[in-house]
Structure formats: C-alpha cells, structure tokens
C-alpha cells in the first residue's frame, strides 16, 4: 500500500481524536446510548399521610402499586416550599447558594442562568428531555424560556399555581404554554399534564433515552376537581376534604395512564420511575404522624413520601432507611443510568444508588433550610428557628418531635449547631461542603444514640 493510501486513515484518526476531546470537554462525558429512561412524577404539597400506602383518604391504587413494585425511601426529605425543592432537585445543590430560600415571586430573578441543571447535562449526553407541568423558578428575563434550561419540551405553567379549569394564574392571566407560547386548551389541568406525558412517551425519538419530569399541580390550591370525582368522596368527607381527595385521586389516575404507556411501549425494564412531593401538605392535607406542615422544617413540612422503581436492580416492595434529600435525586439517577457527570460548581447532593440497591444505609448529614433551618445527622435533628431558638429531637424514638432534648443532650445540640454555622458559611461563599458532612457525633465525645427507652426517661 502506498503512503498516499494512508492519508484518509490518518485524517479519520485525527477526526476521532478531536471528537473525543470535544466530548470530554462537556460536563456529561458518557454517551446516552443504551442508558435507562428517567421519569420523575412530582406532586405539589402532598403530605406523608395523603397516599394510600400511608393510610390516606384518597384512593391511590397506581401510586400504591408503584410502591409495591419499587423501593420506598422511608427517610426522604424535600424542602418546606415549592421553589427551593424544585431548584434543589434540578441542580443537586442547596438552593440557599443561589438565593432561593422561599417561593419565587414573579418579580424575582428566580433560578440564576449560571446554575447548571441536570436535565441540561442529560440533554448534552444525548437524552430527550421534557418538563411537563409546574416550573415556578422564575418568569422574568431568560427564565421565561424554560427550553433554555435543558428541556427540549416544556408544557405547563410558569408560576406557583393555576386555576385547574381556566388555566389562569395568580394575576388572572392565562398561564398555560407549550415551549414559550401561550396556548388555550380545555380540560382539567391534571388530566392535560398526564395526557401530554403519555403523548411524549408514545411519540418519543426511539433512538434516544428520555428524561421526563412530570410536575403535577395537584393537590396545591386552588382546591378544584371534577364533580364526578368529588361525589366519590362525599358522605364520608366534608366538601373541602372530598375535593382535596378527588384532586389526589385524579393525579393517581394520570400516573396510572403514564405507567400503563410505559408498559405498552415495553419500557418498564428500561425506565427508572420516581414518585415524590416537593414539600409537606398544608392544613387540609395529612402529614401524620409527623408534626408541622408546609413552610415549616418540622417533619410534616419536609419529610415526604418517595418511591423509586427500577425492575431488576431494586428489590420490589421494600423500604430503605437511608437518609436522603431531594438534592440527591439527580446525582443518584446519573449513576443509575451509567452517566459520568462533571459538575462546574460544588454539589451538595450525592449518589446513593449503592445504598438504595443494597438496602444498607450509611451515616449521613443533611441540611434543609428556609427561614428556619434543620440539620439531621442519622437519628438526630436540630432545628434553629428564625428567632434563634434551637430544638433537638431524636427521630428514631420521637418521630413526631414531641420531646425537645436540646438541654438534656447539650453536647449533641452544640455539635449540630456548629455544623449548621458551617452550612451558612458554605451557602454564603458557595464553597465546597465536604467538611459539613464529616462525622458530627463522635462516640468518645458524646453519649451513645438514645434508645427508645432512654428517650422516655428524659421526659
């Protein structure tokens, strides 16, 4: 073979080298070929006790079936309000780092464009991405275009809530759109969102895996539901409670249609499905057996139901006691799908895939903050209220947070408070949080964890 015959081969090799370098330069460096699909089903203001498998009043057979076929994450935490939870989920970072410490208002900047979102990383890796439902991370400036944040498709509404039938927002304007264009559609919003999710699964690009976030507005206010569903609960519930139950029932039916379409497309074994809520319920809902509600860092405001299904890898019908939070979700899913992600900013979420598979929890610290702050280390939880008062609870022996042990277990309270002070520095400087998650309760310095009987003696 002559030397000239080698030239095309040399050029091909050189091109491959350049292509490899360009792939390594982006945050997601693994190809999406043969990677699993991701479907996140996010309820809005759903309490721990609102689902059927926790004894709720609404009938939720499809969510219950998902729990029976998957793993229930028994110690999964969100945030006290909508926007911080959604921001934390999409970025894998504390929302306090970028100023989202409560519900984003229309005049607020919202989620800064400088924040890297996991769906955008998946999109760069070859995933088809969609957000169906609620955004609530800013409607001003660049944030008005959700497609710029890593979603090939956005269908839903921008603000905190909409009328379920008229699709009008808090200021009376139509807040219903597809890819940045306001649209007029008839129908109950929960049904429309579920139907769109089914449509996207059916018409997907079959050469690509997909990541779909279905962000329902149910059961967030305004409390509205189809009359036929409300009638189903009249007699045993008052009118308001019957409407609330009907809203959850409608969402469950929509989830059932989504799960059925996944099966119809033979995607069950290729799709990881997650169901959870952005925060606890308001007064009309049920957070029992926990204390507190939405906008509070007591368990009722942040300890939410969460189920994940991945047939073949996660043991069906089990409960996992690993301490985890909504900012761990996408880092874990990235590992579960086999994608390597190189974040451009310090991450606070971490992959817990091995713990979810093995069912063996590891020691962990998480911080959940809004106006009040909560830091949880294994069974211990310290709350610092906005007025400066501190409370300490042992969640294993006192899940309803009825016995404040801040005075009787002062050393543990002091150590956790010290870590909380470190957290505040971390979010202010946007620095790495590595030291924050090192051991808080050292055996040689503090008493052993309270047993139930020991806790009783401190009353």
Closest listed residue to residue 309, CA positions, set 70, 73, 39: 70
Q: Which of 28, 82, 211, 324 is catalytic?
A: 82
Whole-angstrom distance, CA of residue 401 vs CA of residue 279? 18
pTM over 0.85: yes
CA atoms within 13 A on the CB side of 48: 24
- Cβ neighbours of residue 355 closer than 8 Å, sequence gap 6 or more: 320, 322, 361, 362
Q: Before 219, cis peptide (omega within 30)?
A: yes
Q: Which residues are 271's β-sheet partners?
A: 37
pLDDT tens track for 222-248: 999 999 999 999 999 999 999 999 999
pLDDT at residue 439 in the model: 41
Which residues in the chain come in under a pLDDT of 70? Answer: 1-34, 434-459
Q: How many CB atoms lie within 10 A of CB 445?
A: 9
The pLDDT tens digits for 157-171 are 999 999 999 999 988
- Return residue ranges of the chain for CATH 3.30.1120.10: 372-456
Indicate the DSSP class of residue 424.
H
CATH 3.40.720.10 domain locations along the chain: 31-358
Fold of 372-456: Arylsulfatase, C-terminal domain (3.30.1120)
Sign of the dihedral defined by the CA atoms of residues 442, 443, 446, 452, in that order:
positive
User: Does the active-site annotation cover 82?
Assistant: yes
pLDDT value at residue 437: 62
Question: Tokens standing for 252?
Answer: 């469950």
| Per-residue model confidence (pLDDT) at position 438 | 53
The pLDDT score that the predictor gives to residue 340 is: 84
Q: What is the DSSP string of 117-155?
A: PHHHHHHHTT-EEEEEEE--S--SGGGG-GGGGT-SEEE
136 given a catalytic annotation: yes
- 410 SS3 class: helix
Which of the following CATH numbers is that of domain 31-358: 3.30.1490.110, 3.30.565.10, 3.40.1160.10, 3.40.720.10? Answer: 3.40.720.10
Nearest to 156 by CA among 129, 141, 136: 136
């Amino acid at each position: 073979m002559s030397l000239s015959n080698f030239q095309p081969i040399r050029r091909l090799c050189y091109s491959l080298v350049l292509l490899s370098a360009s792939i390594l330069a982006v945050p997601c460096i693994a190809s999406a070929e043969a990677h699993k699909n991701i479907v996140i089903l996010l309820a809005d203001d759903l309490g721990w006790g609102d689902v059927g498998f926790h004894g709720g009043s609404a009938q939720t057979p499809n969510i219950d079936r998902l729990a029976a076929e998957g793993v229930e994450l028994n110690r999964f935490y969100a945030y006290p309000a909508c926007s911080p939870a959604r921001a934390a989920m999409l970025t894998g970072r504390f929302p306090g780092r970028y100023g989202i410490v409560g519900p984003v208002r229309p005049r607020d900047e919202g989620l800064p464009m400088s924040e890297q979102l996991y769906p955008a990383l998946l999109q760069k890796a070859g995933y088809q991405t969609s957000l169906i439902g609620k955004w609530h991370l800013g409607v001003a400036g660049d944030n008005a275009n959700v497609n710029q944040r890593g979603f090939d498709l956005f269908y839903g509404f921008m603000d905190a809530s909409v009328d379920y039938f008229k699709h009008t927002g808090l200021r009376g304007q139509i807040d219903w759109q597809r890819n940045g264009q306001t649209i007029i559609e008839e129908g109950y919003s929960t049904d429309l969102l579920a139907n769109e999710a089914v449509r996207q699964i059916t018409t997907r690009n079959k050469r690509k895996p997909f990541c779909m976030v279905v962000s329902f507005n149910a059961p967030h206010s305004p409390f509205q539901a189809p009359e036929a569903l409300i009638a189903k609960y009249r007699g045993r519930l008052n009118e308001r409670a019957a409407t609330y139950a009907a809203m959850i029932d409608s969402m469950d039916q929509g989830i059932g249609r989504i799960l059925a379409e996944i099966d119809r497309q033979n995607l069950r074994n290729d799709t990881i499905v997650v169901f959870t809520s952005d925060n606890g319920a308001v007064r009309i809902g049920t957070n029992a057996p926990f204390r507190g509600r939405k906008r509070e860092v007591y368990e009722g405001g942040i300890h939410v139901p969460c189920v994940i299904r991945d047939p073949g890898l996660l043991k069906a019908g089990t409960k996992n006691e690993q301490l985890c939070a909504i900012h761990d979700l996408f880092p874990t899913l990235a590992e579960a799908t086999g994608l390597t992600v190189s974040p451009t900013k310090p991450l606070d979420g971490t992959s817990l895939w091995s713990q979810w598979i093995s069912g063996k929890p590891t020691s962990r610290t998480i911080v959940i903050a809004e106006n009040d702050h909560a830091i949880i280390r294994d069974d211990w939880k310290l709350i610092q209220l906005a007025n400066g008062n501190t409370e300490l609870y042992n969640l294993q022996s006192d899940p309803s947070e009825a016995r404040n042990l801040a005075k009787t277990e002062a050393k543990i309270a002091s150590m956790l408070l010290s870590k909380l002070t470190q957290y505040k520095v971390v979010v202010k400087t946007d620095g790495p949080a590595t030291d924050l998650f090192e051991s808080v309760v050292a055996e040689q310095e503090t008493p052993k964890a309270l047993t139930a009987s020991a806790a009783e003696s401190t009353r």
